[in-house]
Structure 1
């Protein structure tokens, strides 16, 4: 069969094989002569394949010495010219801008794998004279297949490869130079604008998940990890993104007449490689900036002082006591309750006591005070998003096959030392009159709440892609006469008596042999889905709401400073306890309970600010589980045993 295998015929013991090609466009004639010298059965299976619809003649002469049975099964397939390369074809190869087609020898091979660089190889007989092989490294290369007109000219060329020479190799003995070429996928992607990648690849990108990209190739790979699609170059070296599940592009249908006999193969995906559930986790760690406002209040009436002859508070005492409670800062001014000048009389068992407050002393004395204090601290919070992505229909059909990914950690950058030591440091909290206020601080952009939600979406999308990839490992492969339109961009439907399948091309090899005339395309399509796996809904990859902090609201005591009153030299007064008697201490000089023999107390004032409970101070971890469903596309795949 010319164009696929060497054309020619010869009987055993006859002359040399005639392998000259038949005339273009003519009839294919295959003379056959069989001579039998002994009586036996003869079977002659014969298959003839043509790439164009032409007449086929099979003159047959059989000579038999004795009467015997002769069986001659004969299959003739005529392949449609609409999907194959022309019967008179020629390759067109340029090297460094120079057409070297006339010097080609051996096999030309172009290989295209989904998401990989397109590679090509060919050999030439170099022209006599000096060779500078390094000059060919990096030289531009194009490879086309074209029709050949009656004069031998190339017409209607179809591009198969555009790229550069990677490695030239000289075979001195055979006087051949072989070239290994690449379409420079990585270099082309590195030079793409970021806007092109964002628009055409799409998906999600998170530094917390993928790390910081050093160039556009890493950036594109990071986005592709969250998209069920592939990025490669077309035969003209232009970047393109192809979804695995193409819905809108036309389908190339190949029937039994289009496929080379014996080349159809099916390779089923093994259950061991199926993953239908992926667990991953994001830990988002950030500072929760907290502040609490507490009040300090103490006040007695003038009668409460004078009825027992008590000394009044003085301003210096108040200001000293309220100046610096540990861990708290005074807000604004202290509100001093003033005393009116005058003479105040108090009578009791000790007699009458007169308290005289002069106009000079009154400004230095006080009936009490009111003040507000604030405390600030940082509580580090870790939100742990436990994400489960699953294809339940696959689990129901095949059983659970789970995979756990490493997940990601997003740490907010924050200098809590500066914020705690400098009251005016950003961010500034708006303080309440009394009570608590908090702010979850993630910085601007890279580590804030939006960044955390984006990291969740990225992890979910990556897990979804893993599951989809695991369910498209079944391959159906075949070979046709060279078809320039078969490309990783295309969907192909194979419709034969044995196999009916539809899927996206994942591997293509074009081959042209100058010496034998063979020219074919070998390809494989990926089949998405699995036996008995049904359809289900596909959840969006939205991030869940932030977990709720279960810490209870503190009681009223958390917002008030302790400041009580302790009076000595009264009946039943205990010994003074500095550690526990927090507040204003003084001694009675009159009144019904006055007892000069009772313990005397110091004239002093102290306050005690409330403590910060551990629940709002110590680091906490808040868990948030979330589940996502994945729908597996179901490609057509039927196998029939005739």
Structure 2
């Protein structure tokens, strides 16, 4: 068994926690006479002598234990409300063959205003072990240590300002175990899985005809949990494009082919018009400065265009940045294949979603930049994603395991025979025509008759299978990086001012201008410099949905069950 923690879901999903050296079970023996009594202490005062009408105690897996009793109060004033909150302990005392044994059956407080029968002076008290209230009083760290379950802020609401009991239940939802109180009042966590039997009920050890069996309903036999969850983050993209424009050599331009030239400012304006940034690796081939004989022909050159930064050629790279929303859409299925094969699929759906906040994405497209390569960077939080999915996978496992322990055996036995049985124990039952092994889920004492009896309930886990897959979340899907350095695009030139010039093309990128010496009636072209930046593909611009599937098989123990 697992008490007060232990490793998270430390038992194999298809088995129980077994000790390295299993102790021999205790065999219940019938046919022995007992003397018995109760000790009821209220507010530190032993009130056993005032007990009338017996008492009852009911403790169930994962729930608060309750008790009830009636006290005869002697003459004097009685204020029932003053009894609320008083501590209560109930001990069962049994004597067999001169040996007296005591067992604590309940520890708690009077929960509500007792009912007062003034005619008979009987005070009827209802008590609780205050499981919820005691957990509510714990710190978050204490709950974490007690439950040992996983928890994610992306699956549940923030802890601050919320019920600590709800928080504990959220952590327990990731465990195949229950949180309750021991008879002596300690908070504890116990596994749902049966272990080697602690107690054995053989033939004729239970009250005749007291056995009843509860069978699971098909609608509750969940054997598939479909997890539909979204994980959203921003993909920061940069796309670079390289361009080259060649206007010809200086000497050709000066002597043979004089024409208008673009300026560096025209190139910068073209880059800005494309919604891009100019990278700092540009190269300008500027018009030469004043020289006495630049071409070796004895002809001087005087640059009268100083300050315009006219270009004979240029090589430059532009880049654009934008942020794309990426949603990893998980469709995970936790299944019990053997159960599906027998009963068909009974599906329960869970899901959640979260988004990784990115400060960088808010300014990525608008912040000027002059470096970097074609690439993309994902603003992920892998640890957060893994926890987000692990919590849901563990919840799904707990759901299918709980659904396959719906067979409940109940029987009654004299209390003196079962004083040591608690909710943490596993029982082998072999009586009244039935054989079964199961973990105890309820112990209910009735001390109202001459023979005190205890009703014991066990849950039998049935499902089958021998394969349980590790609950490892699937990996994110990475997009291949683009080539970091693009192939340059050569920009053309179109010149007007001559009758044999082609018709002006307004859509042609590159430089447009005119020859320095023009011919009458020739079309004059506007002087401009344009670039056509590639259109960003829609699949890189709009929200990208990335489907990710996964199937996880769970094996369920087949505990002994024969009727």
What TM-score, normalized to structure 2?
A: 0.84
Asked if 1:102 corresponds to 2:49, the answer is yes
Instruction: Kindly indicate whether the alpha-carbon contact (under 8 Å) linking 1:562 and 1:609 is maintained by their aligned counterparts in 2.
Output: no
Distance in 2 between residues matched to 1:609 and 1:507, nearest whole Å: 73
- Whole-angstrom distance in 2 between the partners of 1:464 and 1:538: 10
Structure 1 residue aligned with 2:530: 606
User: How far is 1:316 from its partner?
Assistant: 4.5
- Cα offset, 1:329, TM superposition: 2.3
- Quickly say closer, same or farther: Cα 1:148–1:525, change in 2 above 3 A: closer
**Residue 561 of structure 2: aligned partner:** 637
Which residue pairs with 1:211 in the alignment? 157
Pick from 30, 40, 57: which aligns with 1:79? 30
Which secondary structure state, in structure 2, belongs to the residue aligned with residue 462 of structure 1?
helix
Match of 1:309 in 2: 258
1:132 is aligned to 2:88: no
Q: 1:588 aligns with which of 515, 519, 526?
A: 515
Distance in 2 (alpha carbons) for counterparts of 1:304 and 1:528: 93
Distance 1:534 1:547 in 2: 34
Matched, 1:625 2:560: no
Q: State the distance in 2 between where 1:335 and 1:80 align.
A: 105
8 Å Cα contact 1:574/1:599 also seen in 2: no
Q: How far did 1:247 drift?
A: 2.8
- Long gaps (5+) in structure 1: 1-76, 347-352, 443-447
Instruction: Measure the CA separation in 1 of the matches of 2:543 and 2:351.
Output: 21
Among candidates 491, 507, 512, match of residue 447 of structure 2:
512
Q: What is the match of residue 372 of structure 2?
A: 432
Residue 109 (structure 1) shift: 0.4
- Tell me, in whole angstroms, the C-alpha distance in 1 between the residues paired with 2:158 and 2:340: 35
Q: Quick check: 1:405 aligned with 2:405? A: no
Q: Tell me the C-alpha RMSD between the 2 structures.
A: 3.3
Q: Could you say if the C-alpha distance between residues 267 and 366 of structure 1 is closer, same or farther in structure 2, counting changes exceeding 3 Å?
A: closer
**In 2: Cα distance, 1:239 partner to 1:335 partner:** 75
Distance 1:104 1:345, change over 3 A: closer
Select 2:391's aligned residue among 458, 464, 468. Answer: 458
Report matched runs for 1:484-495 at 5 Å. Answer: 484-495=419-430
2:499–2:523 contact (8 Å) kept in structure 1: no
Please point out which of 457, 460, 476 is paired with 1:527. 460
CA distance in 1, matches of 2:509, 2:541: 25
Distance (Å, rounded) in 2 between the aligned partners of 1:338 and 1:563: 17
Tell me what 2:225 maps to. Answer: 278
Could you tell me whether the CA contact under 8 Å between 2:497 and 2:515 is conserved in 1?
yes
Q: 2 CA distance for matches of 1:534 and 1:412?
A: 40
- TM-score, with normalisation over the residues of structure 1? 0.75
- Distance in 1 separating the partners of 2:120 and 2:262: 113
Distance change in 2, residues 1:409/1:196 (3 Å): same
Instruction: Tell me the residue number matched to 2:19.
Output: none
Q: Deviation digits for residues 306-359 of structure 1, max 9, x if unmatched?
A: 33112344445445545x23422233375322333447899xxxxxx9996326
What residue is the counterpart of 1:564 in the other structure?
492
In the aligned structure 2, how far is the partner of 1:470 from the partner of 1:338? Answer: 80
Partners of 1:138 and 1:200 in 2: how far apart? 25
Q: 1:193-234 CA deviation, whole Å, 9 max, x = no partner?
A: 444443443343223333334243222211221211111010
Higher relative contact order (CA 8 A, sep 6+): 2
Instruction: Report whether the alignment pairs 1:251 with 2:179.
Output: no
Deviations 1:468-489 (A, max 9, x none): 1111111111111112222221
Write out aligned runs for 1:65-464 (5 A). 79=30, 81=32, 87-147=34-94, 156-167=101-112, 168-213=114-159, 214-247=162-195, 251-300=198-247, 301-306=249-254, 307-322=256-271, 324-332=272-280, 335-340=283-288, 341-342=290-291, 357-358=301-302, 361=305, 364-396=309-341, 398-414=342-358, 418-420=362-364, 423=367, 432-433=372-373, 435=374, 437-442=375-380, 448-464=381-397
Q: Secondary structure at the match of 2:410?
A: strand
Q: Cα distance, 1:174 vs. partner? A: 2.4
Q: Tell me the distance in 2 between the aligned counterparts of 1:430 and 1:325.
A: 16
Structure 2 CA distance for partners of 1:486 and 1:380, relative to 1, 3 Å: same
Tell me the SS of whatever aligns to 2:420: coil
Q: CA deviation at 1:521?
A: 0.6
Residues 74, 121 of structure 2: 8 Å contact kept: no
Q: For residue 569 of structure 1, report the CA deviation from its aligned partner.
A: 2.9
Deviation string for 1:278-322 (max 9, x for gaps)?
A: 222111122112122233432332245333112344445445545
**Partner secondary structure for residue 209 of structure 1:** coil
- Unaligned stretches of 5+ residues in structure 2: 1-27
C-alpha distance 421-616 of structure 1, shift in aligned 2 (>3 A): closer
